[in-house]
Amino acid sequence: MTTGHSDTIFSGSIPEIYETYLVPLIFEAYAKDLARRVRGKPISRVLEIAAGTGVVTRAMVDALEPNVSIVATDLNQAMLDHGASVRADKNVDWRQADALALPFEDATFDAVVCQFGVMFFPDRPNAYSEALRVLKRGGHFLFSVWDHIRENEFADTVTESLAGVFPADPPQFLARTPHGYSDINEVASDLRKGGFTATPNIETIAARSKASNPSIPAIAYCQGTPLRNEIESRDSSLLKYATDVATAAVSERFGAGAVDGKIQAHVVSIRA
């Protein structure tokens, strides 16, 4: 499966909205869990790919020893710039990089980490091959992917609501890309194609996504992800209206006050 070009564009106001709304809504709990898993490994240098605005980067800085070096990379410079502005950490090097062609020497990292990024890679086996190449022998590749959209209630609700706004061509970004790589057998197969020979450890972890009001999930998804690109490509004047429709749908399903929905992801760990 390949992703459309607009699925990988995080620019304009998306990085700020992403950090403000989406990070606390769905990313922080999994980031702390992933950092805890990295902490259990003997490491001195970590590569993070698809780091976004740095929620896992910051979690690893907090969890790991201060002498551990972290190189945080992303395809989108705008996301890195925003992440670097959130907090300055001396042991973090922010670098623009394509996960399919990493600009690093072979066997230079003890761990490669990626939270909810591999779904966006147009050639996942190639990306896995690159992760394997830069890992030291015995090093660990740890990453997470979202489960099916039906297991992620806010994303599912927002997607269904937008079908009413654009009935002729419903935006499917959330189902297609973030939640489009949920088959763990496909993940394991792609790792083998990328050159990994060990058996991956894959855990399915459910959590709760909470917000103080229904507008937060609507804004997070409609304006803080490339779903915004899909909406605006259909009719740029309808972004606010689409967000309002999504807000109403979240309110109808979860209530008009504080909202609480299920989220679920697979966390994968494999040795080089």
Q: Alpha-carbon Rg of the chain, whole angstroms?
A: 18
How confident is the model at residue 14, as a pLDDT? 78
How confident is the model at residue 153, as a pLDDT? 98
Tell me the C-alpha distance between 137 and 150, whole Å. 38
How confident is the model at residue 60, as a pLDDT? 97
For the chain, percent of residues with pLDDT exceeding 70: 95
Q: List the domains of the chain with CATH numbers.
A: 5-271 (3.40.50.150)
Residues 50-75 pLDDT 10s: 999 999 999 999 999 999 999 999 99
How confident is the model at residue 6, as a pLDDT? 54
Low-confidence ranges of the chain (pLDDT < 50): 1-4
Residue 168, Cα to own-chain centre: how many angstroms?
29
Residue with tokens 């760990």: 269
The pTM of the full predicted model, rounded to 2 decimals, is 0.93
How confident is the model at residue 40, as a pLDDT? 86
Residue 250, Cα to own-chain centre: how many angstroms?
22
Residues 171-215 pLDDT 10s: 999 999 999 999 999 999 999 999 999 999 999 999 999 999 999
